[in-house]
Amino acid sequence: MSGTAPGGPDFSAVDTPIGVVDLERARANARRVSDYAASHGLAWRPHIKTHKSTRMARLQLEAGARGLTVATLHEAEVMATVTDDLLLAYPQVSEPRVARLAELLAETKVDVRVAIDSVVALDGLHEAARRGGRDVGALVELDVGLRRVGLPDVDGVVELARRVAATEGVRFDGLMFYAGHIRGGGAEADAAMLVLAGRLERVVSELAAAGLEPELVSGGTTPTVWRSHELPHVTEIRSGTCIFNDRDQLACGSAAPEHLAYSVLATVVSTALEGRAAVDAGSKALAKEERGGSGYGILLDRPEVGVVALSEEHGMLDLSGTDWRPAIGERVRIVPNHVCVSVNLQPDLVVVDGDRIERWPLEGRGR
C-alpha cells in the first residue's frame, strides 16, 4: 500500500478517512486575507466555524485577525481561551443560552458582542448582562438578501437599535449583515454588490440621522472576500472559509487550486466496477452537500476525478475522465464541496507541516 504521494508527506501510519490540513497553505491563506483587509483599512474577524480549532484560531490571530467570530456558545467558550474579542454571530434566545452567556460574561474578561434581530434576543442579552455583572455589545443584524436571519427593512433596524441604546447592560455597537447569497464574480454578483452597497448607504445614514452612527459594520463572506472594499461603511470582515477553501470556493473564483488547504484522506477499497473506484470516505466524512448534480468533491491532485456518489461509508470516484487506475489500498485526498461541514465530522485533524504530521484537536466541534 502506498501512503506517500511523490514528494508528499508519509500517511502510511494514518488511518482513513480523516481530514488533513496543509499547514503552510493555511498560514498563507490567513496572511493573504489579513494583508488584504489591512490594505483596505478593514479588520478581519474570521468565523471559526470552518476549523473549530484553538490552534488554527491562534494562527489567524498571529496573522493579524482582530478577534474571532463564532456561531455557538460552545465555540464561544472554547475560543475565549485564545482571544479577548468575540462576536457571537447568532441570536441567543431561550434560557439555557442566556444562562451560558451570563456565565461567559461572569467568568471571563472577553469583550462579547452578539448579533440580534429581535426584542426577544435583546431581552436575552439584557438578562445575561444583569446576571453576568457586566455589559454586552449588540450588533443589529440586517438581512441583505439571504433571507435567513436579520431584519429585512431599514426602519426595523433603526427601531431595534434605538431599543438597544435604551437597554441597560447592552451597548449598541453597530450593524451586522451576511451576504451569503452573493457568489463572487460575474454580472449577477456585480449587480448584487451594487444593491448591497446602496442598502448599506441607506441604513448607515438613517442610523446616523437617529443619532446612532454604528461604530462597527460587520460583513464579509469568502465568495466575496476580495471585493469587501467595494462596500461602503464596512469596518470588518468575518470571512472564515478562506482559511482552508473548498470546491465551492474554486467554483466561484475566490480561491485557486494552490489555496486548497483541506482535504479528506481516503483509501481505495474496491475497483470491482469498471470506470469507478470506491473509497472509504462517504457522507460521514465528506458531508453530502451536492451542487447541481456535479457530485460531492474532487481529488486534490487529480481534479478531473470527481466523487459522483456517496453512501455513509463509501465514496465513488468517477474514472471516466482519466487514464489513472488506482490500486486497492492506494491513498487519495478529496476536496469536499463545503469544507466547514466536513471538518465538523472529523474526530480531529491531521495537520501536515513539511514532513511533520501532527493531530490537532477540534475543541469547538459540534452543533
Ligand X SMILES: Cc1ncc(COP(=O)(O)O)c(C=O)c1O
* Cβ-based nearer residue to ligand X, 240 or 282: 240
Q: Which residues contact 249 (CB under 8 A, 6 or more apart)?
A: 222, 223, 241, 242, 255, 259
Min CB(234)–ligand X separation in Å = 13
Indicate the residue type of 279.
Answer: V
Task: Give the residue, chosen from 21, 86, 89, 350, that forms a contact with ligand X under the rule CB under 6 A.
Answer: 89
3-state secondary structure of 194: helix
Min CB(222)–ligand X separation in Å = 3
Distances (CA, A) of 48 to 40, 55, 94, 161, 304: 22, 11, 23, 27, 30
Radius of gyration of the CA atoms of the chain, in A = 22
Can you tell me which residue has the cell 436575552? Answer: 124
Min CB(278)–ligand X separation in Å = 30
* Cβ-based nearer residue to ligand X, 69 or 267: 69
Q: Are 288 and 281 in contact (CB under 8 A)?
A: no
Judged by CB under 6 A, the stretch of 95-103, 125-133, 235-243, 261-269 that binds ligand X is 235-243
* Cβ-based nearer residue to ligand X, 227 or 238: 238
Min CB(54)–ligand X separation in Å = 18
Min CB(180)–ligand X separation in Å = 6
Determine, following the binding rule CB under 6 A, whether residue 239 of this chain makes contact with ligand X: yes
Judged by CB under 6 A, the stretch of 9-17, 153-161, 215-223, 327-335 that binds ligand X is 215-223
Task: Give the residue, chosen from 11, 36, 44, 178, that forms a contact with ligand X under the rule CB under 6 A.
Answer: 178
- Of residues 281-340, which lie at the interface with ligand X (CB under 6 A)? none
Cα angle 95, 136, 129; round to 5: 45
Determine, following the binding rule CB under 6 A, whether residue 221 of this chain makes contact with ligand X: yes
Determine, following the binding rule CB under 6 A, whether residue 267 of this chain makes contact with ligand X: no
Min CB(79)–ligand X separation in Å = 14
Q: Are 215 and 148 in contact (CB under 8 A)?
A: no
Judged by CB under 6 A, the stretch of 8-16, 207-215, 238-246, 317-325 that binds ligand X is 238-246
Determine, following the binding rule CB under 6 A, whether residue 365 of this chain makes contact with ligand X: no
Min CB(148)–ligand X separation in Å = 8
* Cβ-based nearer residue to ligand X, 150 or 295: 150
Distance, in Å, from the CA atom of 142 to the CA atom of 176, rounded to the nearest integer, reads 6
Q: Are 174 and 139 in contact (CB under 8 A)?
A: yes
Cα angle 10, 12, 16; round to 5: 115
65-70: long-range contacts at Cβ-Cβ below 8 A with a sequence spacing of 24 or more?
A: 65/30, 65/34, 66/236, 67/43, 67/111, 69/45, 69/238, 69/240, 70/364
- Of residues 34-63, which lie at the interface with ligand X (CB under 6 A)? 47
Determine, following the binding rule CB under 6 A, whether residue 259 of this chain makes contact with ligand X: no
Min CB(225)–ligand X separation in Å = 7
Q: Are 333 and 300 in contact (CB under 8 A)?
A: yes
Distance, in Å, from the CA atom of 144 to the CA atom of 24, rounded to the nearest integer, reads 35
Judged by CB under 6 A, the stretch of 200-208, 234-242, 298-306, 310-318 that binds ligand X is 234-242
Q: Which residues bind ligand X (CB under 6 A)?
A: 47, 69, 89, 178, 221-223, 238-242
